[in-house]
Amino acid sequence: MQTSTNRHAVVDTALGPLTFVADDAGLAGIYYPGHWTNPDVAAWGEPVGPDHPALAEPVRQIGEYLAGRRRDFDLRLSLRGSARAQQVWQLLARIPYGTTTTYGALAAEVGGGISPRAIGGFVGHNPVSIVVPCHRVVGSTGSLTGYAGGIERKRHLLELEGALAVPEPALW
């Protein structure tokens, strides 16, 4: 049996440095500094440049997205997780650019009595932030809740997509 080889590159972006991780099957992770669900750094594999064949396309597409020139991603993904996690991540991938949904709405779509809190756990463990748009999930009142890269990055991504109005400055 052939084993998969991980490799990673750290790339400066508009959101700060992002670590891109890929294996032989595709993009396996995108992580922020301080990402609350970082896997063991040893699992990232050997360091390579952002132009490595396994990473060049994800790096390019994320750059285009952050520059406002891309709305959808066309990447091979290699996501590891339970069947329920995979189900939730597939639902996240279907949330359209520029829109949001709630943890409760995702829970209702998954069914089987799963709670919004449990959905939040699966959303929070999404290994490919931005590409599988977990930033598009908000609280039941529209509040910005939990994001592995921090609320300010979540706000930035939603504002980039026009899904969150930029607040008007105070006039006093």
33 is a catalytic site residue: no
The active-site residue, picked from 30, 107, 130, 134, is 134
Q: How far is the C-alpha of 2 from the C-alpha of 95, rounded, in Å?
A: 35
Please tell me whether residue 102 adopts helix, strand or coil conformation: strand
Active site residues: 134
